[in-house]
Structure 1
Amino acid sequence: MTGALTALFAIIAREALRFVHQRERFVAALVRPLVWLLVFAAGFRAALGLSITPPYQTYITYETYIVPGLLGMILLFNGMQSSLSLVYDREMGSMKVLLTAPLPRWWLLFAKLLGSTAISILQAYVFLAVAAVFGIRLLAVGYVAMLPALVLAGLMLGALGLALSSFIKQLENFAGVMNFVIFPMFFLSSALYPLWKMAESSRLLHDICAFNPFTHAVELIRFAAYGDFNGMALLWTLLALAVFGALAVWGYDPARGMTRAR
């Protein structure tokens, strides 16, 4: 147990140091959602009407609606970028040192996942603070209530990144795969538009968005931000976390996964 905890804290500390030394990563994580919040949302506000649907009890501005989706964007991009470091470590050889530690492989991957999730949550709350400066504030209880939702969503999206990184051999291929996964997941979700808006356009599009695990992660955050609970979103997010986590563990098993010796 002592060795497992030592490895856990060491891996989390390594993630934190890597994040501190990559300041541009922190800036980039804030610029993307802030551009959507302050530029795109201003243009879409007049074009998109939002009805009173749970968890909202009154009409809201478009900027307020997309805040949970932009928090999900931060978690999604950071989860993928953290997994990119695994591909880099594998090419440099340091991954072999980590995975040969006398500890269960799932524990090492969980430590990596926990470290990247902690960084994602830090970035999410900094974004909320900047948004509050521009007058976009949530309920006071929401800032606390959404923490478990952010943790669960961050773990799920980080596990997706780990699963993808186990199937990618070369660093240069990961960027293309990231774009192929990130943008469909983000745009085919409720991050930018409510599902009822999607249904007005296309029933098939609505069904795709409803099946997207990123949609349920965003809705889990959205409801938590207003002190509400969405059991279906919680169930789907947990299910996706279990599936992605299992794929990651399988992928990093040298006997069965895609990282076995060539």
Structure 2
Amino acid sequence: MIWLRALVAILHREALRFVGQRGRLVAALVRPLVWLFIFAAGFRAALGLSIIPPYQTYITYETYIVPGLLGMICLFNGMQSSLSLVYDREMGSMRLLLTAPLPRWWLLFSKLLAGTLVSVLQCLLFLGIAALWGVRPPAVGYVAVLPAILLAGLMLGALGLMLSSVIRQLENFAGVMNFVIFPMFFLSSALYPLWKMKEGSPFLAQLCSFNPFTHAVEAIRFALYGQLNLPALGWTVLAFAIFAAAAVRGYDPARGMQAKKA
């Protein structure tokens, strides 16, 4: 089937690119490991944690931030994959891909899935390192968390795909990444519970609750402990649908945003 062949070809191309860019794997792991090994040690005494779901007892700060750091990996990789789309468009290979005799949404989804699978691999490697550091969720969590990571990666990758559809130059996209990544990451439950944020600023806590990254992190957190957080999953799916629809529209030369800039 031609659709499946196209998907396999795009997955193969992304795998070759990932293998050829070994520094990309190292960079993807260095960021969360710095938070786990260094920042967590400093925040452990300053940030007290109460017993909150899905945890059944008091936990260390390192244990709390691991789901958030998994989300960080998906967030940075989703943006980096979209950055490669802007590069491919400048080089002309993206235009060649989108002229294939297949629905545009399928080609974009294949590209999105390829980048997300890379995120899943990076997350698994990080979980292995975290286990060596002493952060070990239940064994069932290592399996249950895979769909949550995949969904989070798809949602964040679709966000990057949407941004790449409206930003035409590589330099501009690299700058916009910082304005997207850091507010999404810090205005979330990745580093601190929302109740802790609410103590300091109810307004910021409200912003965190509207942040789709917060819901992606909470879906990962609960899945890592073998539990299902339906509201978090629902909001993550909704955000993915919105971002993906906007990306498909943006890459449509007849209706999309790029046509307006032409």
Scaled to the shorter chain, the TM-score interval is over 0.9
Q: Structure 2: how far apart are the matches of 1:80 and 1:125?
A: 19
* 1:87 partner letter: V
Alignment partners' CA distance in 2, 1:17 and 1:224:
30
Instruction: Give the alignment of 1:100-179 within 5 angstroms.
Output: 100-179=99-178
Provide the C-alpha distance between the structure 1 equivalents of 2:102 and 2:238, rounded to a whole number of angstroms: 26
Q: Measure, in 2, the Cα distance between the counterparts of 1:136 and 1:223.
A: 15
| TM-score, scaled relative to structure 2 | 0.98
Structure-1 residue corresponding to 2:197: 198
Query: Could you tell me which residue of structure 1 aligns to residue 251 of structure 2?
Result: 252
**1:166-216: per-residue Cα shift (whole Å, max 9, x none)?**
010100111110000000000000000000001101110010000000000
Offset from partner CA, 1:132-186 (integer Å, 9 cap, x none): 1111111111101101101111100000010000010100111110000000000
CA distance, structure 2, for counterparts of residue 176 and residue 257 of structure 1: 22
Q: Could you tell me which residue of structure 2 aligns to residue 82 of structure 1?
A: 81
Q: Tell me which amino acid in the other structure corresponds to 2:128.
A: A
Letter in 2 for 1:60: I
Q: Following the alignment from structure 2 to structure 1, what is the Cα–Cα distance between the partners of residues 104 and 246?
A: 13
CA offsets 1:2-26 (integer angstroms, 9 cap, x no match): 1111100000111111111111110
Q: How many residues align?
A: 261
Aligned to 2:137, the other structure's residue is in SS state coil
TM-fit CA distance, 1:54: 0.5
Matched, 1:242 2:219: no
Report the residue type matching 1:245 in the other structure.
A
Structure 1: distance between partners of 2:239 and 2:15: 26
Paired residue secondary structure (2:50) = coil
SS at match of 1:191: coil
Q: Give the TM-score of the pair, scaled to structure 1.
A: 0.98
CA distance in 1, matches of 2:257, 2:141: 41
Matches within 5 A, 1:35-54: 35-54=34-53
Mark the runs of 5 or more structure 2 residues left unpaired by the alignment.
Answer: none
1:32 aligned partner, one-letter code: R
Supply the AA of the counterpart residue of 1:70: L
Task: Give runs of aligned pairs for residues 212-231 of structure 1, distance below 5 A.
Answer: 212-231=211-230
**Whole-Å separation in 2 of the counterparts to 1:127 and 1:153:** 16
Please, what is the CA RMSD of the aligned residues? 0.7
Q: CA deviation at 1:258?
A: 2.3
Please name the residue that 2:208 is paired with.
Answer: 209
The amino acid of 1:241's aligned partner reads F
Residue 73 of structure 1: aligned partner? 72
Offset, 1:256: 1.3
Which amino acid letter does the alignment assign opposite residue 163 of structure 1?
Answer: M
SS for the counterpart of 1:46 is: helix
Q: Structure 1 unaligned runs (5+)?
A: none
Question: 3-state DSSP class of the match of 1:63?
Answer: helix
**Aligned equivalent of 2:184:** 185
What's 1:97 paired with? Answer: 96
